[in-house]
């Protein structure tokens, strides 16, 4: 199969939500989109994890509040066992600390369940193509959390400041510009695998648990200011 044919395949989406009517509504709303295909549905986190042993979607729409196992419990398991799957959290709550926690656990976006179909569609496409979909909810939460951390624990982290080399700083800046792994690899003349290895090393050096955590580290330590 050629690359062009591969690119024409629809994005495979799985919806995990305990409300049948909400799942049906999202399915109906997205049914007209030819580049997205709903391949499965789960009604709780445990059901979802069992399904993932047999089928792997590109993107999961994951409700936070579900019986048996909720989205907060399922998210780390998904990211540990299937790190390539993008996860968009769905909720009725606008909780800044919860949004930040979920982003640090590896969530690729966070949407209100009242979001219309075009927003959901845009989030799925953007997460699939660029890893993250940031919106007013996520941006406000990350910035609020960042300010709180700066005020409360800036002194605590001062002695542990990571020493990054020039290549690591370059790659971190490109990540902050929302470049994909392949784009970064082409720009710094390295293989995508090497870029991923450097990204993992950056997480160890900075103590970040996810790419969102790395971006927060870059903002906090003014790594972008010299560049802009």
Q: Following DSSP, what letter does each residue of 10-45 receive, concatenated? A: PEEEEEE-S-HHHHHHHHHHHTT-TTEEEEEEESSH
Residues 125 and 196 in one domain: no
Q: Within this chain, do residues 186 and 119 fall inside the same structural domain, yes or no?
A: no
Residue 110 and residue 41 in one domain: yes
- Cα–Cα distance for residue pair 124/131, rounded to 1 Å: 10
Identify the domain containing residue 48 by its residue range. Answer: 3-135
Digit-by-digit pLDDT tens for the chain (228 residues) are: 433 344 578 999 999 999 999 999 999 999 999 999 999 999 999 999 999 999 999 999 999 999 999 999 999 999 999 999 999 999 887 666 778 788 888 899 988 888 889 999 999 999 999 888 887 777 777 767 666 655 554 444 443 456 888 889 899 989 888 788 899 999 999 999 999 999 988 988 888 888 888 888 887 777 765 543
Distance, in Å, from the CA atom of 14 to the CA atom of 59, rounded to the nearest integer, reads 7
Pair (103, 10) in one structural domain: yes
- The reported pTM is 0.64
The verdict on 122 and 172 lying in the same domain is no
Q: What CATH number is given to the structural domain containing 165? A: 1.10.10.10
Looking up tokens 């062009």 gives 4
Residue 57 lies in a domain: yes
CATH of residue 96's domain is 3.40.50.2300
Element counts in the chain: helices (H) and strands (E): 11, 5
């Amino acid at each position: 199969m050629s690359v062009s044919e591969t690119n024409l395949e629809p994005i495979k989406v799985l919806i995990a939500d305990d409300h049948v009517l909400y799942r049906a509504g999202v399915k109906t709303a997205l049914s007209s989109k030819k580049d997205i295909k709903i391949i499965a549905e789960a009604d709780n986190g445990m059901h979802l994890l069992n399904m993932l042993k047999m089928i792997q979607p590109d993107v999961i729409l994951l409700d936070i509040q579900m019986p048996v196992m909720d989205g907060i419990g399922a998210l780390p398991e998904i990211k540990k066992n299937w790190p390539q799957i993008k996860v968009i959290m769905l909720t009725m709550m606008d909780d800044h600390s919860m949004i930040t926690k979920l982003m640090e656990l590896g969530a690729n976006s966070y949407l209100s369940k009242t979001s219309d179909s075009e927003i959901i569609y845009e989030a799925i496409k953007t997460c699939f193509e660029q890893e993250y979909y940031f919106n007013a909810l996520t941006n406000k939460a990350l910035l609020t959390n960042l300010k709180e951390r700066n005020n409360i624990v800036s002194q605590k982290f001062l002695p542990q400041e990571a020493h990054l080399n020039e290549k690591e700083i370059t790659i971190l800046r490109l990540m902050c510009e929302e470049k994909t792994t392949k784009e970064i690899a082409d720009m710094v003349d390295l293989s995508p695998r090497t870029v991923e290895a450097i990204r993992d090393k950056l997480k160890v050096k900075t103590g970040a648990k996810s790419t969102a955590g790395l971006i927060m580290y870059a903002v906090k330590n003014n790594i972008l200011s010299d560049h802009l």
